[in-house]
Amino acid sequence: MKPTPPPPPSAKRLCKAPTLLAVFSVPSQGQQSSAAPLLARSLARSLTWQCGRLRVRRTAQWNLTRMENQVKHLNPDLLQPSKSIKRSSSSTITLNVGGHLYAALRQTLAKHQGSLLEEIANGKKPVQHVDSMGNTFIDRDGHVFRHVLNFLRLGELLLPNDFKEAGLLRREAEFYHLGALVQAVQEWEQQQAARKEPAFLEVTDTHERSQGLKVYCSDPSLIEAVKGRLVQVSKSRLDGFPKEFEVSPNTIQFRHFIKSETGSRLIIMKDSTFVCTPESLKLEIMMLALRGGYRLLTSLDSSHGSAVQCEALHFVK
C-alpha cells in the first residue's frame, strides 16, 4: 500500500484560513490514491474563494472605519446648512413677482395703508404661495413691478418718455390697491397725450411801445426756456425775469425794453448781451425754437429781407 502523498503547497498556504464547513464523502481504499489530488485541489479552490471574500470584507470594513475617523475630525460648521441660504432679516422682504426677485424694506412696502403690499409686509394677509426658496410668490407681471416699487420708494412716478406699458402699469396698480399710483399713471398718460399734439409758436410785433413783442406757445416748456434765458438788471444786480411780462404759462407780453428807471435793462443771462430792441429779442426766441425742434411755418411782411424784421412769425413742432 502506497503512502498518501502530502497536500499541494497551495493547500498548505491556505491552512491558516478559517475552516470551511463542508461534508465530504470518504472514498474507499481503492479510490484514495486517485481521489486525493482531486479532493485537495477542490479544497484549495474553496479555501481560496473564502479567503478572497474575507479580504474584501476586511478591506471594506477598514475603509469604513477610516471614513468614520475622518468625519469625526471634520469642522462642524461644514456640516451645517449653507450660509448663503439664509432667511431674510425681519426688516426686509424678498418677493418673487412673476419670476423676478425684488428685495425691499418692510416699511417701504407698507407705505400705503390698505394696499396688498402693506398687508403682506405687516402679516395681515396670509401668504398663499411661495417659491422653492420660501419667498412670497405673486403671480403678476414681474418686469412692470419695478415701477410699482420705485413709486413706493420715491413717492412719485418716474417713467421714461418712451414707456409703452402705461395701461399695464395702471392695471397692476389697481391689483395692488394703490390708488395714488393709479392716479399718477393717469396724469402721466394725459401729459404724454398732450405732448403728441403739435405745438404752435407765434411771435408778433406791432412796433408800438405800449404793446411791444408778444410770444405765445401752446407748449409751456418753450415759454419757460425763454424766461430762463432773459434777466433784468437793475442797479448792478440781477432781478430775474420781470414778472410784469408774464401773462400766462403760454404767453409773454414784452411791453417795453428799456424801463424808465435809470440803469435798468433786459439782457441775455449767459451772454450778458443787451436786449433793447424787438429784433434782438426775436432772434433769441427764434434760436431757442429752432434748437427745440420747431420749424418756421409762415412769416408775415418779409419785404425787409430778414425774418427778425417780420411783424409775425409762426412755428410748428
Q: Please report the pLDDT score of residue 85 as a whole number.
A: 40
d(CA 147, CA 185): 11
Give the per-residue pLDDT at 1.
Answer: 47
pLDDT (tens digit per residue) in 258-309: 554 556 677 777 666 666 677 788 888 999 999 988 998 877 665 556 777 7
SS3 content of the chain, % helix, strand, coil (to 5): 40, 20, 40
pTM of the predicted structure, to 2 decimals: 0.41
Higher pLDDT, 99 or 47: 99
Cβ pair 98, 141 in contact under 8 A: yes
**Count of C-beta atoms within a 10 Å radius of residue 63:** 10
**Is the model's pLDDT at 143 over the cut of 50?**
yes
Rounded to an integer, what distance in angstroms lies between the CA atom of residue 157 and that of residue 198?
25
Mean pLDDT of 235-260: 77
End-to-end CA distance of the chain: 133
pLDDT in tens, 50-85: 777 777 777 877 777 877 777 666 555 555 544 444
